[in-house]
Every structure is written in structure tokens, then in C-alpha cells.
């Protein structure tokens, strides 16, 4: 079964826009789990423009499903992982001031650096590397020692309405390679109610999808409970 991890960064963005605690990030996390999400994802960036470091510590106390912490593996991030000990650390190659993730690791170019970091973090939790849907990047992620890869799905989302068969093709190939070499497989970025069902139909072997922006946007219309249920329906086994 493909598990749904809800990224709650945008809830924190909305809260931070006015200060105070509305919406209540912890309540949203609890409700997402109560409504059926199998995981909670956060990305505590250095500027704390959405998820703050304190949020991560507070969430650790209440998350009962899989807690996934994304981030660039600098000293700050590694310290957070060492302290929190989440279920999963997802390493992304983001610059500190980057608006959102827009590419995966070059797991060949940065292999030496990643091997050292992954080896350290694997003593604490499962480690996933954020990669583009390329077979060579997936294979090199295995050489880095990663437990999983997360396929960066923006290109699939952008091209879905143009030619969904062509859009999904590199993801199926990369995903099958991941499974063949023993890597767990995650996916995320711009997956939505428009494109998630087809993605899952073509790749039912994905372990986890991490979705945030679209879920928060859809919940404005459908409500959070209905939105989580709609996303879970996209992931029903055929």
C-alpha cells in the first residue's frame, strides 16, 4: 500500500503570516493522522519562514504515525535529526534561501559527501535522498547508502495534461530500478487530485507520497477531513 504523508509546511506559513497560533499546527497534524494520513512531513528551513525548529520539537511529542523531516544536511539539520530521531530523514539539495525544492541530488557528483552523511544518519533513522527521475541518479543513491529515494515529481505534474503516458515514463523506469536494487521508493512535489490516481495506477509499488501544497489548497474548498479522504482514495489498491 502506498502511504500518504501530509506535508504541513503551508499550515505553518498561514499561521506565521499573522503570528499567534491560528491555525494550530499541532491540531492540524493530529487531525491529518486522525483522518487517515500515515505520516506527517515537515521541512524546517533555516529562515523559519514556515516550520520553525520549535515546531519540530513540539510535533515530535504528538505525531503517532511516521514523522518525516526534510532538509539540506547542514550542521543545523543534522543536529535536529540527532535530537528528534524521526522515522525518516529526507535529504534535499536546497540552498538556504530557496523558495521550494526544484531539483534532486546529483548523487554521482556529491557521492562522497552523501556517503558520509547518510552513514551517520542511518544510525538514527531511515534515510531517503531526493532525486530526479533518472536511473543513474537512483543507482548512485544506492551507492551512497540510502534506504530510499524520493522521486521529484514536478515534471510529471507539469506534463500530465499534455501527455500523461510520456510524463510518467521516466518515473516508472526509475522506480523499477529502485525496487530492483533494493531501495524503498517515495515520491513528491506537485502531486494533486488531478494527477495522483494515474501516478498510482502506473506505480503502485511506491511506498509513500508526500503531499502538502495541494492538500492545503484543496482543504479550503473541501475541508481537511474530506481532502485527506479524497487523496487516500487516489491511493486505493487496484
Q: What is the separation of C-alpha 167 from the centre of its chain, rounded to a whole number of angstroms? A: 20
Strand 66-71 and strand 88-91: the pairing is parallel
State the catalytic residue, choosing from 33, 50, 66, 189: 189
Q: What is the separation of C-alpha 27 from the centre of its chain, rounded to a whole number of angstroms? A: 20
- Confirm whether 135 is a catalytic residue: no
State the catalytic residue, choosing from 33, 43, 66, 200: 43
- Confirm whether 201 is a catalytic residue: no
Q: Using alpha carbons only, what angle is made at residue 191 by residues 214 and 147, rounded to the nearest 5 degrees?
A: 120
DSSP-derived 3-state class of residue 12: helix
* Conformation bin of residue 164: beta by default, left when phi > 0, alpha when psi is -120 to 50: alpha
State the catalytic residue, choosing from 33, 66, 70, 208: 70
Q: CA-CA distances (angstroms) from residue 172 to 2, 25, 143?
A: 15, 35, 20
For 70-108, give the DSSP string: EE--SHHHHHHHHHH--SEEEE----TT-SS--S---TT
CA distance 89 to 60: 13
- Confirm whether 43 is a catalytic residue: yes
Q: What is the gyration radius of the CA atoms in the chain, in angstroms?
A: 17
46, 96 Cβ separation under 8 angstroms = yes
- Name the residues annotated as catalytic: 43, 70, 189
Amino acid at each position: 500500500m502506498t502511504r500518504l504523508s501530509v506535508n504541513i509546511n503551508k499550515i505553518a506559513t498561514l499561521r506565521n503570516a499573522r503570528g499567534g497560533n491560528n491555525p494550530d499546527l499541532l491540531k492540524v497534524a493530529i487531525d491529518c493522522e486522525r483522518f487517515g494520513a500515515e505520516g506527517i512531513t515537515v521541512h524546517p528551513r533555516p529562515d523559519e519562514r514556515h516550520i520553525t525548529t520549535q515546531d519540530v520539537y513540539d510535533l515530535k511529542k504528538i505525531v503517532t504515525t511516521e514523522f518525516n523531516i526534510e532538509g539540506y544536511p547542514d550542521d543545523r539539520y543534522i543536529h535536529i535529526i540527532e535530537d528528534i530521531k524521526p522515522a525518516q530523514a529526507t535529504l534535499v539539495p536546497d540552498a538556504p534561501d530557496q523558495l521550494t525544492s526544484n531539483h534532486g541530488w546529483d548523487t554521482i557528483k556529491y557521492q562522497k559527501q552523501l556517503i558520509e552523511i547518510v552513514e551517520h544518519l542511518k544510525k538514527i533513522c531511515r534515510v531517503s535522498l531526493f532525486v530526479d527521475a533518472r536511473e543513474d541518479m537512483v543507482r548512485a543513491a544506492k551507492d551512497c547508502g540510502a534506504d530510499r529515494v524520493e522521486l521529484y515529481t514536478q515534471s510529471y505534474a507539469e506534463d500530465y495534461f499534455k501527455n500523461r503516458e510520456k510524463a510518467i515514463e521516466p518515473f516508472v523506469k526509475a522506480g523499477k530500478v529502485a525496487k530492483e536494487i533494493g531501495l524503498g521508493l517515495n515520491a513528491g512535489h506537485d502531486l494533486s487530485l488531478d494527477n495522483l490516481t494515474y501516478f498510482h495506477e502506473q506505480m503502485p509499488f511506491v511506498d509513500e507520497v508526500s503531499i502538502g501544497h495541494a492538500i492545503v489548497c484543496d482543504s479550503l474548498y473541501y475541508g481537511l477531513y474530506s481532502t485527506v479522504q479524497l487523496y487516500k482514495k487516489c491511493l486505493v489498491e487496484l
